[in-house]
Structures are given as C-alpha cells and as structure tokens.
Structure 1
C-alpha cells in the first residue's frame, strides 16, 4: 500500500471536495446565450481556472467593473445549481482533524473561486472552513496553472511546498501544484485517467476519488495512504 508522509494537504475545491457541475453547466448555458458561446466546450476548457481569467478570455469582457459583476452573477448561478460534497470528503477531513493541535496547520483549500462564492459553496456542502483560512482567486495575482495559488496555500500553513500534498481534479490545478514543488494526486472526478495522462499535467498519483485515500498523524506529520493508486 503506497503512502506519503507530508506536513500539510492543499485541497482544490470544485471537482475535488465538491461537485458543482450542474450549477457550472447551468451558468455557462446562461452566459453562452448572452455571449454567443458553446456552453459545453467553454465549460470543459475553463475548468479549474479563475472566472476572472475565463470570462475575460471567452466573453471578451475588459471593463473591470462589469467583469467583477459578471463573476458574481455566474457564481450565484452555480450556487443555485446545488453543489454537493463528493464521496470520501467528510471522512478524510475527519481523519485530518483527529490530529489535535496539529490539525489546524494540516490542511487548507486552494480554489480558483472567489472569496464570496467559496464559503457559500462549502456551507451548502457541510464542509468546514479551514482553521487557518484558505486561498481564493482574490488572494493571488495569477491563477492556476500558475503555481502562485499553491505557494500561497503552503505559506498560509507555514509549510514548505515540497512537504505539501496537492489534491486536484483539473489539469490546470495539477500543473500548478507540480510547478509549486508539491507532491500531486489527481482524482478522476471530472476527467478520466486517460485524459489526465494525456493532459501533460503529470500527477504523481491518480485515484478514482477521495474514498481511495486515508490519513493519520504520525507525530506532527501526516501519513496519507493510497491503496488504489
């Protein structure tokens, strides 16, 4: 049974901790009608990236005030779509939280979503906010696949990126994690194993979902077991 010993886990959110697919597709259908886009194509191509970047690129919105307003409108559509926690999320977080005083610095969330949408989506799914806070698109100048988000996540926990584990579903986030110097696990919740292998993201491990992972504290480090890698 393969295992890793790390100081902290940096989780992506959409597609890793929560399934927001119905709401995202609903939002892109609305925006596709407004901006003359192919909803399915754009939804696939933009997965894992910041709305700030994708709306600017695909909807050609360059006015800053309008762009920010459209981000809010898009994310409200996603929330109305009813995000849900993905399998294995609550049990894995419970195992991390069993570490007593180590638990707070043991995990955080690094998401391409905004600081408005993120707490709403987590609350809807019954997932607690990380004790030491999280990293959203509002906290970094460059989004995934740039390594800045995961480097910021490691700093928030006071951890060396090389001692952090990134868990992601999207190629852009997997690339960001590797570029940040972290060990990276891909979950096949939004892409097939074949698609992930062909994406060039090069994760260290690929698993079906978070039910494949378990964690326990060994002193002040986390052992993450990967039985089905």
Structure 2
C-alpha cells in the first residue's frame, strides 16, 4: 500500500509538472510556420526566426554525421521517440505531452539536446525544456533506458560566398548537459585572404542586409554540402563543414 501511494504521488507530481510544460511550450507542438529548405519569398516570418530554424536543421544533420550508427530523432514527438526508439510504452506518456518535440534525441546513446540561441535567457529556457522533456520520457521508458542530457557536442562551419568575400559562421557548444547553444556570426570582406585567415578575424554580428540577401542561399548551400547535392543557383563560394574546421 505504501508503494502504491508513493507511485500515485509520483504520477500526480509528474502530471502537475507537465501541465506547466504544456502551458509554456504548448505552441511548440504546432507545425513550424514555414518548412526548410528555403524561406518562402512572400513569408512574413522574421529572418532571425528563419535562421534559427536553419541552425536547428544544420546542427541536427551534423549530429547524425557524428553518430552514423545511432538512432537519432530530430524535432520528433515524444510518443514517436518512445515507440520507434524502442524505449518503452508510449501509452505511459500523458496525452497532453505526447506531441512535444525535443530538438535532438539519440535513443542509442540515450541522450537529449535542446538547441537555443547563445544567450543567457535562452540558456535558462533550454535547461528548463530539456529537464521537462527528460522527466516526461523517463516516466515512459524501461528502467535500463533512462535518458540524460547530452554533453560534449560542439562544432563550427563556415560559408564563403566568394573568394575573399563575406564569410558566415555557424557555431554551437554544449555548456551544460542537454543544452546546446548556437550563434551565427560574420567576418568582413578581405580580398586575397584565405577563409582560415578571415575566420581568425574578430567575429561580428551578422548584418541584417546580409541575412536578407543571402539567408536562404546559405541554408541551401549547407544542406547541399551535407547531402552531396548540387550547389544552389547563385552560390559561387564554398562551404567548410566541421570536419574541415578541426
């Protein structure tokens, strides 16, 4: 009877905990307002939000490259992760959290990452979200398949739009378990200098005019580099993936 009472209190506690999650994150269960690759020309979505989605997509691709034999879920519902990752019984998940979608979940390494812009406010938000996702998942999985926040995931890639021209960087780091922070940055034109020489320059905030002019092209060029596809029309530069930057 004592054990049953403890389980009941645990279940009620989790339900209350997850109600807070739904109140704060419920909107994230909705489909994104636009799909990658490419921001639609008539989209009213802010360019900053578009680049955030592009960063999520690219970092997810890179994690899969680094863990080629693992089962990796990117932006996938909790119920699908539990079921297809063969972690346990998705019916154990409360109905109101089954559609919530962690950014990266590795069901072989049993780790989870939440991606956020690299600032303190977003870091706190990422920590809270990762903790809540883990609490929900770990109530549904088998005892030997509990997940934790991932660590040690970091990287950087560069886009050179023309020889000696604009140089963009996407970098990410995981300063605490389960929270991966990303940042877009910019190096000014320096004709005749190599991309590595310009990468050593002081990083600057990505200018708005650069984002508007090259944002869609940047995402498409990176995707083509990962997937071995053709460069997008109008892209005359190079993409240097994390393997090139080590």
Task: Establish whether TM, by shorter chain, passes 0.5.
Answer: no
TM-score band by shorter chain is under 0.3
| TM-score for both structures, normalised by structure 2 | 0.26
Larger Rg: 2
| TM-score for both structures, normalised by structure 1 | 0.27
